[in-house]
Amino acid sequence: MKIAAALVIALVLTAGACGKGDDKPVDTAVASSAATTVTSPAAKARTAGEIVANLKTNGLPIAETTVYTAADDPNDQLGRPGGYTSKASWHDTRVETQTDFDVTGGGSVEVFGTETDAQKRYDYVDSITHGNAMLNEYHWRHGVIFLRVSKELTPDQADGYKRALDRL
């Protein structure tokens, strides 16, 4: 009992000694929230559909687009733990092979809830596509956004998507 009382007294004294007497109280919830707020442009990013519309507005030759739902997402990742919060794909008019709405015929954008989840997806796709001539593609991560475009585009053409992504 004496040990417990001594610990409580020590804790109270230590807590009191940590602050200055003239400081105003700090709302820790607000301070914590402000410290963890991501302010990068990608954090304000919007949905995948809005990003594709922005890419098209910036002059990229995007034809048909599709915005996926959890019911028709081809990867079954939309809205699931660690998965993206929105996904859209499009056809690029410069690509002759426009099959289904996949990266081969144009591109795809996935928006994640966290940069960590976006990086995990980037790493996964990169591990599969890198050095594989059949699956190769261009892809970039910008904050919570993961953008993928067809290998059928020239490096200069693909770079147009990267530049537009960097401006978001």
Q: Give the span between the Cα atoms of 149 and 47, in whole angstroms.
A: 18
Note the pLDDT tens digit of each residue in 78-114. 999 999 999 999 999 999 876 666 788 999 999 999 9
Backbone angles phi, psi at 142, to 5 degrees: -135, 100
pLDDT band at 149 (very low <50, low <70, confident <90, very high): very high
pLDDT band at 62 (very low <50, low <70, confident <90, very high): very high
Amino acid found at 126:
D
Which residue, among 80, 55, 63, has the nearest Cα to 148 in the 3D structure? 55
Domain boundaries, the chain: 2-36, 41-167
The mean per-residue pLDDT over the stretch 66-84 comes to: 96
Least confident of 18-32, 67-81, 82-96: 18-32
**Highest-confidence segment of 25-29, 55-59, 93-97:** 55-59
| Residue 45, pLDDT above cutoff 80 | no
Residue 88: the pLDDT is 97
Q: Is the pTM of this model over 0.75?
A: no
Backbone angles phi, psi at 81, to 5 degrees: -55, 125
Measuring CA to CA, how many Å separate 82 from each of 30, 31, 49, 145? 27, 27, 20, 14
pLDDT band at 5 (very low <50, low <70, confident <90, very high): very low
Least confident of 29-38, 74-83, 141-150: 29-38
| Residue 41, pLDDT above cutoff 50 | no
